[in-house]
Structure 1
Amino acid sequence: MTNFLFSNVDTVELSTKYGTPLYVVSEDFIVDRCREIKEDYVEKFDNTMAAYASKAFLTKEMARIIKREGLGMDVVSGGELYTAIQVDFPMGKIIFHGNNKTREEIELAVQYGVGRIVVDNFLELKLVEEIAEKYNKKINILFRITPGINSHTHRYIQTGQIDSKFGIPLDKEIIYNSIKIAMNSKYVELKGFHFHIGSQIHENTTHVKAINILMKMAKAAKDDLGFITSELNAGGGYGICYEQNESRKPISYYTDAMMKELIDECEKYELERPMLIIEPGRWIVGEAGITLYTIGSIKEIPGVRTYVGIDGGMPDNPRPALYGAKYEGIIANKIDKEPVQTVTIAGKCCETGDILIWDLKVPQIETGDILAVLSTGAYNYSMASNYNRIPKPAVVMLRKGKDRLIVKRETYDDILKNEI
């Protein structure tokens, strides 16, 4: 019998060795994506930068891989920044985001000298300036601008529309006031602007449109205030394959179009081309991961459906419950068997909404079979919880046919360790 191989490793053997649920991540895939970014973007165009959006998946080992591959890193919390600090990640390549950074988080960023802080609002601008003065440092900043674009994705992962918790609205009076303060400050150096229009986006038109809008603003800021935009951060959000009708486009599909628009707009407005920064996260790691589960209960409701219970669910993958995310699954120990039934994969939590996959076609299924859910590398481990007091799974990294443990499986004692 043939088992499902992932990154040239037998997944059923992994489930036996490490137990389930189990996150499995392919370093080979991650390295390939990093090198595609370098070859088809960073080395193809001068004055560019790519930073991994670490919120998608971050462990100390993942930070080491990104460091070794020479990319920067986008962090959105003190915890993500602290992880980078612990592996001696180059602080100059860190971009610190977040719509409500705490004083403690900004102090950590200033003390360690992160490369850029993306300022989300006017209050944060004053706070960054105050803390930079305290440490007698000058901090590079970008302003996050909300360009007013509705991207074609789930509304919970849209971020560029006018009505958004993120960023400074595209209002000349508000933006100009912030630019003036930054230009007159001894403690912050405004480099330019940042936008992010959403996640899991499969077309390049919205990124191009956002660059068009931001360059018009850059032109106006130069003419009216004398401010020169030296950096433009276009975020990430590039889509991957979750379902059979989706595909992951090459990085050049997005970056070539954005660079063309940026070059054209700079020529039109007679502006020096700013550095263009991109921040792919899911695109690098999403398809690099799978999750392995063991099949437990099988409950057939005649004429309705068959529910198949697994030993994980919402705590290790909340995305289906959060916003109806879709996944494909494979019975790993029956990869050569024909699908003969349709089942619904149910998680073990005490929630009706804890359904991982609706209507999955599978071979004749049995208790003890191993289910592999695909494309779980992004926003699974990073969003995992202990709901129902379920310990978080272990994480195994694969490289050139070999496996290694990078995160230990939690125990019940781990869940209780901070309780008094």
Structure 2
Amino acid sequence: MNQNVKKLINEWHDKNRDPICAYIYDLEGIQNHVKSMLKTMPRQSHLFYAIKANPDKRIIEALLPLVKGFEVASIGELLKVRGVSKDIPILFGGPGKKNYELEIAIRENVSYIHVESLLELRKLIIFAKESNKHIQVLLRINLRTKTLPETKIIMGGYSSQFGIDEQLIDEAISILIGAENTHVHLCGFHFHSLSNNLKADLHVEMVNHYLQKVEQWKRVHGLDVKVINAGGGFGVSYDETPGFEWELFTSLLTKSEEYQNLGDTQLFFEPGRFIVADYGYYVTEVVDIKVSGDKCFSVLRGGTHHNRLPASWGHNHPFSIFHQEGWSYPFKRPEVQNSKVTIVGELCTPKDRLYENAKVESLRVGDIIIFEKSGAYCWTISHHDFLGHPHPNFYYIEGNHYE
């Protein structure tokens, strides 16, 4: 456990009577992780951070000097990045972009717009011409392939709302080279087929499949492809399964024939979860322990309204216990010893569970549960205001101090 996390918990209890409930983000840990990733990245490849994983302003600021830019999926996200930097490169993706979003993206000098449909492309041509601004686009393609790695979330290789169907590429290029288009320039292609893949070798195979497809389209259509965005999807393990091996991925990719044939084409990656997941902690206190039938439940000051990822993904979220010794009541402290306990939140719903049947040596009311790997898709996707419980506090670790 990060020593600053322990220090923060102890200082909280010295100053507060209320149970602790907080997110703690290790900004220095995130920075060191990204620096390590950059060391092994192939030549002419670039790292972008997909802020949907965690759009916290302090995290964006911490990553600003390290990454090539940021990937956003809404105008809200775009403006968060622009609130930190007016000129950092931005990739703007996501289905269902509204007219005002496209117009703002043009005005805010987005580097590349990931075009998700033929309608979106036609609208962009009109808006760019009206604003007299030249814009660069990558066509997001949904490949018709059955060779993708298996993960919990797949966005490509089958019928979905994401991207332009592979069979419509000819029509998309026909629109781009048409006489009506004077301001929208095709610079390459974007692929994002899955989420949270843990197999580095399979990820290389998938990226190489992308590169093979683009090479085919270049020959057929005579394209000058400046950029291939191979998306994200690099996985984080929330159980005993081995995590994604970044160094193996970059090593295998660099040696592949497909990569060697890239020429001057730039290769983009846009991970989110993989960058920040391991550097966030959701810290919350046990406020009750009780038995119902043959099961024991530990009730937290917190729950899925703060950290919805376990319920969303249907997994038990990894945690550690930080024992607290103080007990000021005249009656026996509720506890469970060498047994199984289901860890639940404070909400009025049976779905508010973060870990089912966890084996614990000792857990008492007043102890602290520290949910590790809570830096991505935890707070952001949660229903924060359900039942009106107070939000958690937020703390940031930098060096040997926090604030």
Q: TM-score, normalised by structure 2?
A: 0.89
Would you say 1:264 and 2:258 are equivalent positions?
yes
Report the CA distance between 1:214 and its aligned residue.
2.8
CA gap of 1:232–1:294, structure 2 versus 1, over 3 A, is same
Kindly provide the CA deviation profile for residues 5-49 of structure 1, in whole angstroms up to 9, marking residues without a partner as x: 4456525226436863211111121011110122111xxx33221
Correspondence list, 1:19-168, <5 A: 20-41=20-41, 45-91=42-88, 93-147=89-143, 148=145, 149-154=147-152, 157-168=153-164
Report the CA distance between 1:150 and its aligned residue.
3.9
Q: Contact 2:235–2:244 (CA<8 Å) still a contact in 1?
A: yes
Would you say 1:196 and 2:192 are equivalent positions?
yes
Report the CA distance between 1:253 and its aligned residue.
2.2
Correspondence list, 1:359-370, <5 A: 359-370=357-368
Deviates more, 1:388-397 or 1:47-56: 388-397
CA distance in 2, matches of 1:369, 1:222: 60
Would you say 1:319 and 2:317 are equivalent positions?
no
Would you say 1:372 and 2:361 are equivalent positions?
no
CA distance in 2, matches of 1:33, 1:179: 39
Percent identity, please: 26
Equivalence for 1:246: 241
Report the CA distance between 1:204 and its aligned residue.
2.6
Report the CA distance between 1:219 and its aligned residue.
3.0
Q: Which amino acid aligns with 1:112?
A: E
Q: Which amino acid aligns with 1:180?
A: S
Q: Contact 2:308–2:379 (CA<8 Å) still a contact in 1?
A: no
Q: Contact 2:231–2:270 (CA<8 Å) still a contact in 1?
A: yes
Correspondence list, 1:198-347, <5 A: 198-243=194-239, 245-261=240-256, 263-264=257-258, 267=261, 272-302=263-293, 304-333=294-323, 340-347=338-345
Q: Which amino acid aligns with 1:318?
A: R
Q: Contact 2:176–2:184 (CA<8 Å) still a contact in 1?
A: yes
Kindly provide the CA deviation profile for residues 314-363 of structure 1, in whole angstroms up to 9, marking residues without a partner as x: 1111122222033111111269xx97222100111121111101122223
| Residue 182 (structure 1) aligned to one of 161, 176, 179 | 176
Equivalence for 1:397: 396
Kindly provide the CA deviation profile for residues 203-242 of structure 1, in whole angstroms up to 9, marking residues without a partner as x: 1344333334333332332232211222111111111232
Equivalence for 2:330: none
CA gap of 1:339–1:164, structure 2 versus 1, over 3 A, is farther
Q: Contact 2:254–2:260 (CA<8 Å) still a contact in 1?
A: no
Correspondence list, 1:10-21, <5 A: 10-13=7-10, 15-16=12-13, 20-21=20-21
Kindly provide the CA deviation profile for residues 263-294 of structure 1, in whole angstroms up to 9, marking residues without a partner as x: 43664xxx635211011111110010110111
Report the CA distance between 1:372 and its aligned residue.
0.6
Report the CA distance between 1:370 and its aligned residue.
1.1
Equivalence for 1:410: none
SS class of match (1:340)? strand
Report the CA distance between 1:403 and its aligned residue.
0.8
Kindly provide the CA deviation profile for residues 182-221 of structure 1, in whole angstroms up to 9, marking residues without a partner as x: 2443211111111112121111344333334333332332
| Number of equivalenced pairs | 386
Q: Contact 2:218–2:224 (CA<8 Å) still a contact in 1?
A: yes
Kindly provide the CA deviation profile for residues 277-314 of structure 1, in whole angstroms up to 9, marking residues without a partner as x: 01111111001011011111211135x21011101111
CA distance in 1, matches of 2:390, 2:184: 43
CA distance in 1, matches of 2:3, 2:102: 40
Q: Contact 2:113–2:136 (CA<8 Å) still a contact in 1?
A: yes
CA distance in 1, matches of 2:300, 2:367: 10
CA distance in 1, matches of 2:175, 2:307: 43
Q: Which amino acid aligns with 1:94?
A: I
CA gap of 1:84–1:327, structure 2 versus 1, over 3 A, is same
Q: Which amino acid aligns with 2:306?
A: D
Q: Contact 2:48–2:68 (CA<8 Å) still a contact in 1?
A: yes
CA distance in 2, matches of 1:166, 1:324: 23
Q: Contact 2:212–2:258 (CA<8 Å) still a contact in 1?
A: no
Q: Which amino acid aligns with 2:247?
A: S
CA distance in 1, matches of 2:99, 2:12: 43
CA distance in 2, matches of 1:295, 1:70: 38
CA distance in 2, matches of 1:14, 1:31: 26
Q: Contact 1:53–1:75 (CA<8 Å) still a contact in 2?
A: yes
Q: Contact 1:248–1:283 (CA<8 Å) still a contact in 2?
A: no
CA distance in 1, matches of 2:45, 2:36: 14
Report the CA distance between 1:384 and its aligned residue.
2.4
Q: Contact 1:218–1:228 (CA<8 Å) still a contact in 2?
A: no
Task: Structure 1: state its 5+ residue gaps.
Answer: 405-420
CA gap of 1:94–1:38, structure 2 versus 1, over 3 A, is same
CA distance in 1, matches of 2:361, 2:324: 7
